[in-house]
Amino acid sequence: MITIITVTYNAASMLQRTLDSVSRQTYSSIEHLIIDGASKDETVAIAEAYKEKAAYEVIIQSEPDKGLYDAMNKGLHKATGDYLVFLNAGDTLHAEDTLETIVNKVESLEFKVYSSKMPAVIYGDTAIVDTNGAFLHLRRHRPPEQLSWRSFKQGMLVCHQAFYVRTDIAQQNDYDLHYRHSADVDWCIRVMKQAEEMGLSLVNTHAVLADFMEGGNTTQHHRDSLKERYQVMCRHYGRVQTFFLHIWFTIRSIMK
């Protein structure tokens, strides 16, 4: 089973497209957790209507929280699927067989269900779409053939919505609430570090897995996000290496 976690707050204008993309999936062993921050619009009503029609388990929790990453931690610890992914309001699964692609990839590796050697992460590419869901372009940062925690020295090469994590590993790594905009980058790196320590693989699907709507939280708070990402990189890669990497990023951007 795959757990999809959708965090919402006053997201009535964007939520339906996300719910529709889940309901169209050809794979049906789904747990969908909708973690709402006590919305004041029609978000919860839309979620309840969706729950009534869903052919899989939908759990709705609506209560005040301390922000996006606090809500994501709540979802993280409620998940019971083998793998989990975060798909927030406005984001969608790329195709009707996206979850089936994930499951087939794991099964093709001949791991038994609940095996301690199942891949730690299944990942893929992301398409950027407009507010109507129309394709604009593939994400500028593209997933490497072989991902590791060191890969993120070059930026967040795999989008959060295309990063499926084994639930037992995910639940050992809460989002760090000290970060307001870039806790997802830190979380992904810590998950991948743990995978390496456990000798577990990170598997590339070579498929587009998610559609990310242009103008998300990180885009809206771009400057603050960049400052936090610098802090995250210093934490994981060291201050000296991070400093020189950013000099190279600046030179590279000028040369383009």
The pLDDT tens digits for 211-244 are: 998 765 445 566 777 788 888 989 899 877 776 6
For position 243, what pLDDT does the model report?
65
DSSP 3-state of 3: strand
For position 230, what pLDDT does the model report?
86
Residues 6+ apart with CB under 8 A from 234: 242
- Give the model confidence (pLDDT) of 187-214 as tens digits: 999 999 999 999 999 999 999 999 998 7
Helices (H), the chain: 12-23, 43-53, 68-78, 98-108, 167-170, 183-198, 217-220, 222-237, 239-255
Strands 57-62, 30-36: pairing is parallel
For position 107, what pLDDT does the model report?
86
Residues 6+ apart with CB under 8 A from 200: 117, 118, 119, 120, 166, 169
Of 245, 229, 212, nearest to 140 by C-alpha is 212
For position 247, what pLDDT does the model report?
64
Residues 6+ apart with CB under 8 A from 226: none
Specify the pTM.
0.90
| Residues 185, 187, 191: CA angle, nearest 5 degrees | 120
Residues above pLDDT 70, as percent of the chain: 89
**Could you say which residues of the chain have pLDDT below 50?**
113, 217-218
For position 199, what pLDDT does the model report?
94
CA 143 to chain centre: 14
**CB hemisphere CA count around 158 (13 angstroms):** 34
For position 215, what pLDDT does the model report?
65
Q: Which residue has the tokens 């000028």?
A: 254
